[in-house]
A and B are shown apart, each in its own frame.
Chain A
């Protein structure tokens, strides 16, 4: 990493002049080595394999910036990649926009840029366009990131709510709640040491593999904020069908469960950043499961339930460990730790 005579970001670094130029040439370009970006054109010119593309955007404001298993940079890449992946596309290119608070340490920025680059490389996407703005102290909380992404849609793949039918199976590629609990464990006021690690990862390689090797995938979504509960409710509402899941089949890391128990949280509502839910035809369920389990990001994949007839209104129900039934509602608002 090139050295700089400044150890903190100044407003001028976003001002379009000499310092901005220095930031781009000495820090951003060398980190994201690619020809498209190096052109420093006003827009990136892309040649895509298909006219049919997916396009998405997301902004990242996570606190703390650095956590066990990742940081805001890695999250910004993986989060957007995952949105493209679950829509049935192969992610190709991302834009990267930074809004940085005056006074933010350069050393931290460099760490974030490095992990952004590493995540992009690992997931075989290029950062082809970007922007940097700096704002006065207090206008943002240290650094906010936005990424937008383009993915090429896989041929012959059509995913949608309308494809979901009663009897379809529901698969998740691994344990739930890891990311959210990790973040919570490192928040001020709650901080506790833990073996917890965010599951932050790009799942596109696995989802593409799934889509290319089976024909039974009907729909996918990544259960980020609001957790599995939120995603299943969205799917239920979107399809107009009910969902029934089995608590005993939902993979949960005991450390995550214990952390949630201590604070009074329901793991079903806690965020994930390296997971996806897939609704698949019953006849393809076993194949899908095996494909997942043969991939590093799917070793603990599990069939957690199925799509069911709606009796009255579409809802998500869970058969609990003891054979009871309860409704899984859409979570509302922010979970707060409690002692009671």
Chain B
């Protein structure tokens, strides 16, 4: 009942953040996660960060994060 995806905090002022998920930038609040810092990977649900995301576990858990990791490593140059 809860769509939430991992995203990285790329801007943070107070509890107002901008997070990046694979090139999509969303506004989000860190009100529920006061320990969040710039650069952290967080879980976003309905416009709020609800958890920090463990970076290593994240790659094991989310297919998309694995793909980005793989493609960074192989440096694919094909364009769409």
Which residues of A does B touch, CB under 8 Å? 174-175, 178, 185, 192-196, 199, 251, 253-255, 257-259, 261-264, 299-300, 321, 338-340
Give the secondary structure class of A's interface: loop
Which applies to chain B's interface (DSSP): helix, strand, loop or mixed? Answer: mixed
Q: Across the interface, do A194 and B23 meet the contact criterion of CB distance under 8 Å?
A: yes
- From A174, A178, A196, A262, B3 is in contact (CB under 8 Å) with A262
Listed by A's residue number, 7 A-B pairs whose Cβ atoms lie within 8 Å are A185-B24, A193-B25, A195-B23, A254-B68, A259-B24, A299-B80, A300-B78
A196 contacts which chain B residues (CB < 8 A)? Answer: 23-24
Query: Which of B2, B21, B79 is in CB contact (< 8 Å) with A339?
Result: B2
Which 8 A-B pairs give the minimum distances between C-beta atoms?
A258-B22, A195-B23, A255-B23, A193-B25, A340-B1, A339-B46, A258-B21, A194-B24
Q: Which residues of B contact A257 (CB under 8 A)?
A: 22, 64
8 Å CB interface, B1-51 against A: 1-3, 5, 21-27, 44-46
A258 touches B5 (CB 8 A): yes
Q: How far is the CA of A185 from the CA of B46 in the complex (A)?
A: 16
Q: Which chain B residue has the least Cβ–Cβ distance from A275?
A: B80
Given the complex, which residues of A lie within 8 Å of B2, measured CB to CB? 339-340
Which residue of the partner chain B has the closest CB to A293?
Answer: B78
> Are B64 and A261 in contact, CB atoms less than 8 angstroms apart?
yes
Q: Which of B3, B27, B80 contacts A261 (CB 8 A)?
A: B3
CB-nearest residue of chain B to A195: B23
Of residues B1, B5, B23, B27, which shows the largest number of chain A Cβ atoms within 10 Å of its Cβ?
A: B23
| B63 beta carbon closer than 8 Å to chain A | yes
When the two chains form their complex, are residues B24 and A192 in contact, meaning their CB atoms are under 8 A apart? yes
Bound-state Cα–Cα, A174 to B24, Å: 20
A-contact bits for B50-64, CB 8 A (1 contact / 0 none): 000000000000011
Categorize the interface residue count of chain B.
20 to 34
What residues on B are CB-neighbors of A193 within 8 Å? 24-25
Which chain B residue lies CB-closest to A258? B22
B25 with A199: CB separation less than 8 A: no
A340 CA / B45 CA spacing, docked (Å): 9
Residue contact A174 to B80, C-beta cutoff 8 Å: yes
Q: Contact: A262 with B26, CB < 8 Å?
A: yes
Contact across chains for B67 and A300 when beta carbons are under 8 A apart? no
Identify the closest chain B residue to A300 (Cβ): B80
Cα–Cα distance between A259 and B45 once the two chains are bound (Å): 13
**Is there an interface contact between A321 and B63, defined as CB atoms closer than 8 Å?**
yes
Minimum CB distance partner of B18 in chain A: A193
Q: A254-B23, A257-B64 are known contacts; what are 9 more A-B pairs with Cβ within 8 Å?
A: A174-B80, A193-B24, A194-B24, A194-B25, A195-B24, A261-B3, A262-B21, A299-B80, A339-B45
- Cα A251 to Cα B26 in complex, Å, equals 24
What separation, in Å, do the CA atoms of A254 and B63 have in the docked complex? 10
Given contacts A175-B80, A185-B24, A193-B25, contact A254 B67 (CB under 8 A): yes
Chain B CB within 10 A, most for which of A175, A257, A300, A338: A257
Q: Which residues of A contact B63 (CB under 8 A)?
A: 321
Do B80 and A262 touch across chains, with their CB atoms under 8 A apart?
Answer: no
A174 proximity list for chain B (CB < 8 A): 80
Which residues on B sit within 8 Å (CB–CB) of A321? 63
* Distance in angstroms between the alpha carbons of A174 and B78 in the assembled complex: 11
Instruction: Check if B80 sits within 8 Å of A258, measured CB to CB.
Output: no
Shortest distance from the beta carbon of B37 to any chain A beta carbon, whole Å: 21
